[in-house]
Amino acid sequence: MSGVTQEMALIAVVRLLGALPVLRWPFYGGLVALLVDQSDLLIMNLVNLGGVNDYQEFDKYLDQAYLMTFLIVALRWQGPERGIAIALYIYRLAGFVAFEITQQRDVLLLFPNVFEFWFLLAAALHQFRPGTHLTSRGVVLALAPLVALKLAQEYVLHYARLLDGFTTVEAIEAAWRWLTGPLS
C-alpha cells in the first residue's frame, strides 16, 4: 500500500473501533462490525481528506481486524461451531493471501468469506438459544445456504463488479426513493 492519507487514517480508526464490540457482545457486536465495515464507503463519499489509495487492498487489510475479533470469540466456543469457525477463518485468510499475491479481485470468489456468516449464526445461537448444539445435519443445513449467499455476494462485488459504478450516497438515495416511492 502506498502512502496513508488522513482519510485512510480516519477510516482505519473507525473500522478498528467498530471491531471491538464483538469481544463483549459477540452477536450484536458482530452486526455492528459488519455495518462499520461498510462505513468506509460512506466516509469516502462524504469527506475529502486525501482519498483512499488502492481501496480493495486497504479494505482487505482492515477486514482482518473484525475477522480477528470474530476468531478470538470463536476460540471460546466448543463443538463443531468452534472447529468450523477456525477452518473457515483459515480458508478466508488463505484467500486474503492469494488476493495479496495476485492482486486480482476475482480470486476472492474462490475464497468466499463464509466465516463471517458462520460466526453470526453461531453467535446468534449462543445469544438466543444457549446450550443448543449443532448436529452434523444441522451444520450441513446451515452451511449450504451460507455458502450460496456468500458466493452470490462475492460474485456481485468482486467478479461481476455490479456495484463498482455506484457511490454509497447514490445507493442510499436510490434505496430511499424505492422505499418511499409508494408514499409520494
| pTM, two decimal places | 0.86
Tell me whether residue 55 is in a domain: yes
Tell me whether residue 155 is in a domain: yes
Q: Indicate if the pLDDT at residue 99 is higher than 70.
A: yes
Other CB atoms within 10 Å distance of the CB of residue 66: 25
Could you tell me the residue range of the domain that residue 105 belongs to? 6-183
Sign of CA dihedral 171, 172, 178, 179: positive
Tell me whether residue 10 is in a domain: yes
Tell me whether residue 122 is in a domain: yes
The pLDDT tens digits of the residues spanning 116-172 come to 999 999 999 999 999 888 889 999 999 999 999 999 888 887 777 766 776 777 777
Using an 8 Å Cβ cutoff, are 31 and 120 in contact?
yes
Number of domains in the chain: 1
pLDDT band at 66 (very low <50, low <70, confident <90, very high): very high
Tell me whether residue 40 is in a domain: yes
Tell me whether residue 109 is in a domain: yes
